[in-house]
């Protein structure tokens, strides 16, 4: 019988590591078990090809909570995020739109397509900045249970209610629109130019099996507006060394507080004794005992694999089967011989240093979704590409570059069944390269290596069920006190002493760290650990 831990965390993603750091900082004996040889989960940097370090899955950061950086001293442990200055949209007709951090520069770019939009843009930003301030009330606390009469819960509901009330009537009305409308309908109320609306609307569909015209996607748009870097709302940035750099900073912080971290230690299942979580059983058969077990895995894997359907009550089983994962995106990472230059804006400029969207029109995006609805990957997909090596040259050999492409739609459930994805992997990769090559002549000749991740690969490699990058869709019915399900939304599960700290819990989604932090804080304040 080996030593007993206060908490064993299954999965060494950034949330698991943050949860470990908070618990260890509070003096608890913590063990993190990661099945892979690298830490980070979906926030991972790996040298996939000699000299080329990819942010294999998640690739930019904005939503990471600033107080976590402070409280866990992450900057001292290597957390470094460099802001992106530009959002670039190449267009098939040879034109392009670049939106910059500099508002006047953006205005003059947008004015080429619509003078009105160029002037409304700051008004829109102002309103969204106000809405983004809600983040503090929504993201930085466990979701209050609106059905409870417990005075503590009522106080939490009131606190959230006050945050909304403080918005004032105009913004409250706007909020109603945000949670009910489609991303496109919402943007239509502000803007006229499709060249602006198309790239803005994609914030409403990222990681979601919905189209820009699907109701509810306006909320996902807001979710992406809640981010901040150094107090500047809505800005996105590159993590030095790839997104794994953030995970490694979290790991170093956790270790500095005494947490133990094991890699290549896959867990087979949670050890349940008399209906209570008592530890974990590793794939190699080892049993590790703990007072509490915390799963950083998504709700589906936590309940159905780690606990097992046979240990679940009927209602819980029903709810977990209803939980929507529906991975809808893939990733294509290219190692390039030189900088990819866009024919519509030749040269190696600042416009290449931010994110590059292939989203030339609303219909283009909606057609991409149409194919996905019927079980095919989009032959003309929405692509969000970045060239992180222009900002962080250490990721590739000198003069070489990385083009990292987030690709949507790639539905997990393709017509022939998800298991057939490997057959289509290279065709999917070709589609992405072909699409980009229309804007970047000579791209194909620059490619040294290519990594293609279909949603099936994301599931296999990272353990994200159905390849869903958010551990479950960010649709309104799966948020707040219903994430992942109504009765178990506060990091608890239906199994006593088994907790959850992953993106499938409130607030979820993106490299945010809030789920890991709030799980640890909830456990500590309730003396569960």
Residues engaged in binding other proteins (CB under 8 A): 102, 104-105, 107-108, 111, 115-120, 122-123, 126, 129-130
Q: Which is nearer to other proteins, 117 or 459 (CB)?
A: 117
Residue 162 structure tokens? 């006050």
DSSP 464: -
Q: Which is nearer to other proteins, 15 or 228 (CB)?
A: 228
Q: Which is nearer to other proteins, 120 or 486 (CB)?
A: 120
Q: Which is nearer to other proteins, 129 or 235 (CB)?
A: 129
Helices (H) and strands (E) in the chain, counts: 17, 20
Q: Which is nearer to other proteins, 114 or 494 (CB)?
A: 114
Query: Rounded distance, CA 469 to CA 478, Å?
Result: 15
Shortest CB 110 distance to other proteins, Å: 10
Query: Rounded distance, CA 379 to CA 372, Å?
Result: 10
Nearest to 394 by CA among 53, 33, 148, 42: 53
Pair 269, 280: CB distance under 8 Å: yes
Shortest CB 82 distance to other proteins, Å: 23
Q: Which is nearer to other proteins, 115 or 173 (CB)?
A: 115
Shortest CB 166 distance to other proteins, Å: 12
Shortest CB 107 distance to other proteins, Å: 6
Shortest CB 116 distance to other proteins, Å: 4
**DSSP percent split of the chain into helix, strand, coil, nearest 5:** 40, 20, 40
Counting every residue, how long is the chain? 529
Q: Which is nearer to other proteins, 111 or 418 (CB)?
A: 111
Shortest CB 197 distance to other proteins, Å: 15
Shortest CB 95 distance to other proteins, Å: 18
Q: What is the largest CA-CA distance in the chain?
A: 72
DSSP string, 108-170: HHHHTT-HHHHHHHHHHHHHHHHHHHHHHHHHTSPPP-TT---HHHHHHHHHHHHHHHTTHHH
Pair 377, 409: CB distance under 8 Å: yes
Query: Rounded distance, CA 65 to CA 139, Å?
Result: 9
Shortest CB 113 distance to other proteins, Å: 13
Query: Rounded distance, CA 269 to CA 319, Å?
Result: 20
Q: Which is nearer to other proteins, 129 or 269 (CB)?
A: 129
């Amino acid at each position: 019988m080996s030593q007993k831990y206060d908490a064993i965390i299954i999965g060494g993603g950034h949330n698991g590591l943050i949860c470990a750091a908070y618990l260890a900082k509070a003096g608890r004996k913590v063990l993190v078990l990661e099945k892979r040889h690298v830490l980070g989960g979906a926030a991972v940097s790996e040298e996939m090809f000699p000299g080329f370090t990819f942010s294999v899955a998640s690739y930019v950061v904005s939503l990471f909570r600033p107080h976590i950086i402070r409280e866990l001293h992450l900057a001292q442990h290597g957390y470094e995020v460099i802001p992106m200055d530009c959002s670039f949209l190449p267009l098939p007709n040879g034109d392009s739109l670049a939106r910059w951090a500099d508002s006047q520069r953006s205005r003059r770019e947008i004015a080429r397509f619509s003078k009105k939009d160029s002037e409304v843009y700051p008004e829109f930003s102002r309103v969204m900045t106000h809405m983004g301030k809600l983040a503090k009330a929504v993201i930085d606390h466990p979701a209050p249970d609106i059905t409870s009469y417990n005075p503590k819960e009522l106080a939490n509901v009131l606190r959230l209610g006050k945050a909304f009330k403080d918005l004032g009537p105009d913004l409250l009305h706007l909020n109603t629109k945000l949670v009910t409308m489609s991303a496109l309908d919402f943007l239509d109320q502000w803007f006229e130019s499709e060249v602006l609306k198309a790239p803005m609307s994609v914030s409403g569909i990222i990681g979601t099996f919905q189209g820009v015209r699907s109701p509810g996607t306006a909320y996902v748009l807001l979710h992406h507006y809640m981010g901040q870097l150094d107090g500047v709302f809505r800005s996105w940035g590159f993590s030095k060394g790839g997104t794994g750099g953030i995970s490694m900073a979290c790991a170093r912080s956790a270790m500095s507080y005494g947490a133990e971290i094991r890699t290549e230690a896959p867990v087979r299942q949670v050890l349940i004794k008399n209906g209570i979580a008592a530890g974990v059983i590793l794939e190699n058969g080892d049993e590790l005992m703990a007072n509490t077990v915390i799963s950083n895995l998504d709700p589906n894997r936590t309940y159905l694999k780690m606990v097992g359907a046979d240990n679940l009550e009927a209602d819980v089983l029903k709810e977990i089967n209803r939980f929507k994962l529906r991975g809808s995106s893939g990733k294509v990472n290219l190692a390039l011989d030189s900088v990819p230059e866009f024919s519509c804006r030749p040269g190696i400029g600042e416009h290449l240093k931010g994110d590059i969207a292939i989203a030339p029109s609303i219909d283009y995006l909606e057609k991409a979704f149409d194919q996905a609805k019927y079980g095919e990957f989009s032959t003309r997909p929405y692509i969000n590409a970045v060239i992180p090596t222009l900002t962080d040259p250490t990721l590739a050999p000198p003069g070489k570059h990385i083009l990292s492409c987030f690709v949507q739609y790639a539905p997990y459930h393709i017509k022939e069944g998800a298991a057939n994805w490997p057959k289509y992997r290279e065709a999917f990769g070709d589609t992405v390269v072909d699409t980009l090559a229309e804007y970047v002549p000579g791209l194909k000749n620059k490619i040294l290596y290519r990594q293609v991740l279909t949603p099936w690969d994301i599931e296999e490699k990272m353990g994200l069920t159905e390849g869903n990058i958010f551990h479950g869709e960010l649709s309104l019915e799966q948020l707040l006190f219903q994430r992942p399900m109504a009765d178990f939304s506060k990091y608890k599960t239906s199994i006593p002493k088994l907790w959850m700290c992953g993106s499938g819990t409130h607030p979820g989604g993106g490299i945010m760290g809030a789920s890991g932090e709030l799980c640890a804080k909830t456990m500590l304040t309730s003396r569960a650990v």
